[in-house]
């Protein structure tokens, strides 16, 4: 039943473009209207019509400990009594910065911002300021938020809408964004060759997770490390999805590669609007007020978001076995999908079943997926009480709150598709 969701969606459409504040949520690609959420607890999410779902969106990743995780909620409630925003420094910002650096000990400094988009946009500005170069390389199908220069052959909602470039972005803004193919070293080499001494940075999702999950081929990330070093360019890992999820130290720990800069997203805020970019001291010292790369914001390091982030990262740090648990849960789901005949990609607790017959190792492979079949699969899962991302081109996230019962129910749903 979805009467109330339908009514709320109709109402929302009167005053919000498409009725949603972020496009994929409109469920357009799965040819039905969205469910409106009332609340969430642990691994479950509840809609306004009284339906309950096992949730594999997990707010697009950050709810790795489950929704309404008590230590986070209690700390946030307490912090609210002290005021919601000061626009001035607090001790907890340093506490959170140090926790983040414990995860990536080869880095020196952290700047807190509000969203993954902001973190990436800022990191790129820093890379340009530091190197004195303008051009960057990004990969087709990788998504780095919605700043102008990065909306070029982007994944996530743009791929979902079959429109990987955005209107409203002046040509000049993307002229310095060069495109390479993920998992294709030759395409990167060609760009370095054609633009000698001009490339400030290569930005990559170490595991592509915004065109569905596509793992890096053996040696690909090391190749990026080597070629950037050889050309005095920076390597930026966009770990908005992989950070604190593949391991406490994210993809850099998981794959044993040390990039020059890393961007983290919502997971560092325990699901609240918080994100960060980090780097070595010499790079980060170009940021104002030390250096001349400007980046600022009243809500940067917001005390409530920082409190939530500290509690979540402390929990992850104190029980690293979490990563083995969520890996094993995701493996069970992977097996169920494989048994049903899907192509599946999985890295740790991130996975994607694909509607295509061959392996999925590139953007070109992703484009072969049958999105109509995905839509039917999505609707079947939803009707069986399983909430997965409403797009073939997003990841499935498993949390530590998922239970054996949840997994059994999900596996049955997969068998019944
Ligand atoms: N495109 C976002 C995930 N990769 C969706 C964000 C949202 O709708 O909240």
Distance CA 234, CA 91 (A): 31
Mutate to test the pocket of ligand 1, among 24, 214, 350, 395 (most ligand atoms within 8 A of CB): 24
* pLDDT at position 1 over 90: no
Return the ligand 1 atom nearest residue 20 CA: 8
Nearest Cα residue to 127 out of 167, 177, 165, 188: 177
Query: pLDDT tens for residues 288-321?
Result: 999 999 999 999 999 999 999 999 999 999 998 9
* pLDDT recorded at residue 131: 98
* pLDDT recorded at residue 22: 96
Ligand 1: residue whose CA is nearest its atom 9: 22
* pLDDT recorded at residue 19: 98
Q: Residue 38: in which H helix or E strand, if any? A: strand 37-41
Query: pLDDT tens for residues 170-225?
Result: 988 999 999 999 999 999 999 999 999 999 999 999 999 999 999 999 999 999 99
CATH topology of domain 3-58+320-415: 3.90.1150
- 393 neighbors 366 (Cβ within 8 angstroms): yes
* pLDDT recorded at residue 301: 98
- Catalytic residue list: 143, 238, 266
**Mean of pLDDT values over 383-400:** 98
* pLDDT at position 162 over 90: no
Query: pLDDT tens for residues 334-351?
Result: 999 999 999 999 999 999
The per-residue pLDDT of the chain, averaged, comes to: 97
Pick the residue with more confidence: 166 or 413?
A: 413
Q: Where are the domains of the chain?
A: 3-58+320-415, 70-318
Return the ligand 1 atom nearest residue 25 CA: 8
Q: For the beta carbon of residue 197, count every other beta carbon within 10 angstroms.
A: 12
- 385 neighbors 50 (Cβ within 8 angstroms): no
Backbone angles phi, psi at 44, to 5 degrees: -115, 150
Could you say which architecture CATH assigns to the domain 70-318? 3-Layer(aba) Sandwich (3.40)
* pLDDT at position 228 over 80: yes
Ligand 1 is surrounded, with C-beta below 6 A, by 22, 24-25, 60, 156-157, 210, 394
Query: pLDDT tens for residues 56-85?
Result: 999 999 999 999 999 999 999 999 999 999
**Mean of pLDDT values over 107-126:** 98
* pLDDT recorded at residue 160: 86
Return the ligand 1 atom nearest residue 241 CA: 4
- 263 neighbors 239 (Cβ within 8 angstroms): yes
How far does the centroid of ligand 1 lie from the alpha carbon of residue 413, in Å? Answer: 24
Query: pLDDT tens for residues 362-378?
Result: 999 999 999 999 999 99
């Amino acid at each position: 039943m979805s009467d109330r969701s339908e009514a709320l969606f109709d109402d929302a459409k009167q005053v919000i473009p498409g009725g949603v504040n972020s496009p994929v949520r409109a469920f357009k690609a799965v040819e039905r209207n969205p469910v409106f959420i009332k609340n969430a607890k642990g691994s479950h999410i509840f809609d306004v019509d009284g339906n309950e779902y096992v949730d594999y969106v997990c707010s697009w990743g950050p709810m790795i400990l489950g929704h309404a995780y008590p230590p986070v909620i209690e700390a946030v409630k307490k912090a609210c009594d002290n005021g919601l925003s000061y626009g001035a420094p607090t001790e907890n910002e340093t506490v959170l910065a140090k926790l983040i650096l414990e995860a990536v000990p080869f880095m020196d400094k952290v700047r807190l911002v509000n969203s993954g988009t902001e973190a990436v946009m800022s990191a790129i500005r820093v890379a340009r300021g530091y190197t004195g170069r303008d051009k960057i390389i990004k990969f087709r199908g990788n998504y780095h938020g919605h700043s102008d220069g990065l909306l070029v052959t982007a994944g996530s909602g743009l791929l979902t809408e079959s429109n990987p470039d955005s209107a409203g972005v002046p040509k000049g803004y993307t002229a310095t964004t060069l495109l390479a193919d993920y998992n294709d070293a030759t395409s990167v080499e060609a760009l370095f060759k054609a633009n000698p001494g001009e490339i400030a940075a290569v930005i990559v999702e170490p595991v592509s997770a915004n065109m569905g999950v596509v793992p890096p081929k053996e040696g690909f990330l090391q190749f990026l490390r080597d070629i950037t070093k050889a050309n005095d360019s920076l390597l930026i890992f966009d770990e908005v999805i992989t950070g604190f999820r593949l391991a406490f130290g994210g993809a850099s720990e998981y794959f044993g590669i040390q990039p020059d800069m890393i961007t983290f997203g919502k997971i560092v805020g325990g699901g609240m609007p918080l994100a960060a970019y980090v780097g070595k001291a010499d790079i980060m010292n170009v940021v104002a007020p030390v250096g001349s790369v400007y980046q600022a914001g009243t809500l940067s390091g917001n005390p409530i978001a920082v409190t939530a982030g500290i509690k979540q990262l402390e929990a992850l740090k104190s029980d690293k076995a979490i990563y083995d648990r969520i890996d094993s849960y995701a493996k069970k789901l992977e097996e169920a999908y494989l048994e049903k005949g899907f192509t599946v990609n999985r890295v740790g607790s991130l996975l994607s079943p694909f509607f295509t017959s061959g392996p999925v190792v590139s953007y070109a492979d992703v484009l072969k997926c049958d999105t109509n079949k995905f839509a039917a699969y999505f609707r079947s899962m939803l009707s069986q009480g399983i909430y997965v991302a409403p797009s073939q081109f997003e990841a499935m996230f498993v949390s530590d709150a998922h239970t054996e019962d949840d997994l059994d129910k999900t596996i049955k749903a997969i068998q019944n598709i």
